[in-house]
Amino acid sequence: MKKIEIYDTTLRDGAQTEGISFSVNDKLRITEKLDELGVHFIEGGWPGANPKDISYFHQVKKIKLVNARIAAFGSTKRSEVKPENDIVLKGLIASKANVITIFGKAWDLQVKDVLKTSLDENLKMIEASVKYLKSNGKFVLFDAEHFFDGYIANRGYALKALKAAQNGGADRIVLCDTNGGTITSTVFNAVIEAGKEVKTPLGIHVHNDCELAVANSIAAVEAGAIHVQGTMNGYGERCGNANLASIIPILKLKLGIDCISDIALKELTETSRFVAEICNMKQEDSQPFVGSRAFAHKAGIHVNAILKNSRSYEHVAPEKVGNKRRLVVSEQAGRSSIKRKAEELNIKLDTSKDQEAKILNSLKKLESEGYQFESAEASLELFMNRSMKKFKDFFQMQGFRVITEKKGRSKVETEATVSVKVGEHKETMLAHGDGPVNALDSALRKALKDFFPSLNEMHLSDFKVRVLDEKSATAAKVRVLIKSQDKHDSWWTIGVSENIIEASWKALIDSVEYKLFKDSKS
Task: Please give the average per-residue pLDDT across 475-504, as a whole number.
Answer: 88
Domain boundaries, the chain: 5-278, 296-368, 396-521
In terms of pLDDT, which residue wins out, 364 or 485? 485
Distance, CA of 343 to CA of 328 (rounded, Å): 13
Beta carbons within 8 Å of 61's beta carbon, 6+ residues apart: 96
In terms of pLDDT, which residue wins out, 376 or 196? 196
Among the residues of 266-329, which ranges form H helices? 268-278, 300-308
Percent of the chain with pLDDT over 70: 94
pLDDT of res. 337: 63
CA dist 26 to 61, 179, 279, 465, Å? 15, 28, 8, 31
Residue 212: pLDDT over 90: yes
In terms of pLDDT, which residue wins out, 309 or 338? 309
In terms of pLDDT, which residue wins out, 367 or 469? 367
pTM here? Answer: 0.73
Residue 464: pLDDT over 80: yes
SS3 390: coil
Instruction: Kindly report the three-state secondary structure assignment for every residue of 412-448.
Output: CEEEEEEEEEECCEEEEEEEEECCHHHHHHHHHHHHH
pLDDT of res. 284: 87
pLDDT of res. 7: 98
pLDDT tens-digit series, residues 379-390: 888 988 888 777
Under CATH, to which class is 5-278 assigned? alpha beta
* Confidence at 296, pLDDT banded by 50, 70, 90: confident
Residue 469: pLDDT over 70: no
Q: How far is CA 160 from the centre of its chain?
A: 38
Least confident of 69-78, 343-352, 486-495: 343-352
Distance, CA of 431 to CA of 446 (rounded, Å): 8
- Asked if 5-278 and 396-521 have one fold, the answer is no
Architecture of the CATH domain 396-521: 2-Layer Sandwich (3.30)
In terms of pLDDT, which residue wins out, 296 or 181? 181
CA dist 226 to 3, 66, 173, 240, 251, Å? 7, 21, 10, 22, 11
pLDDT of res. 66: 96
pLDDT tens-digit series, residues 25-47: 999 999 999 999 999 999 999 99
Distance, CA of 428 to CA of 485 (rounded, Å): 25
Distance, CA of 288 to CA of 314 (rounded, Å): 12
Residue 353: pLDDT over 70: no
pLDDT tens-digit series, residues 109-168: 999 999 999 999 999 999 999 999 999 999 999 999 999 999 999 999 999 999 999 999
pLDDT of res. 227: 98
pLDDT of res. 328: 67
- The amino acid that residue 45 corresponds to is G
CB atoms within 10 A of CB 82: 11
pLDDT of res. 300: 63
Residue 487: pLDDT over 90: no
Residue 490: pLDDT over 90: no
Q: Which helix (H) or strand (E) holds 378?
A: helix 377-387
CA dist 6 to 93, 249, 280, 323, 454, Å? 23, 12, 24, 21, 46
